[in-house]
Amino acid sequence: MEELIFIVEESDEGGFIAKGLGVAIFTQAESWNELKTAVVDAVHCHFDDDQKRLIRLHIVKEEVIAA
């Protein structure tokens, strides 16, 4: 089964952004649950077939600390 990996970051405007690695898929949503649904929908739109795929969401959290 094919696995698709998405890098997920918090958006500066709020919500989340998901970018596919190795595939040209990008989506965003206001909440975590909405993002999961948006990623699944984007994958179905990108691939016009009935093949099952695993989707891995890799969360990246960036924090800047002044020292």
Q: Is residue 21 part of a domain?
A: yes
Total domains present in the chain: 1
pLDDT tens for 17-57 read: 999 999 999 999 999 999 999 999 999 999 988 899 999 99
For residues 1 and 39, the model is more confident at 39
Tell whether the model's pLDDT for residue 62 goes beyond 90. no
Q: Is residue 67 part of a domain?
A: no
Q: Is residue 47 part of a domain?
A: yes
pTM for this entry: 0.88
Work out the average pLDDT over 3-28.
Answer: 96
Range of the domain at 13: 2-60
| pLDDT for res 63 | 85
Q: Is residue 12 part of a domain?
A: yes
Q: Is residue 65 part of a domain?
A: no
Phi-psi region of 57 (alpha: psi -120 to 50; beta: other; left: phi over 0): beta
CB 35 within 8 A of CB 18: yes
How far is it, in rounded angstroms, from Cα 10 to Cα 46? Answer: 23
Helical ranges in 1-67 per DSSP H: 32-46
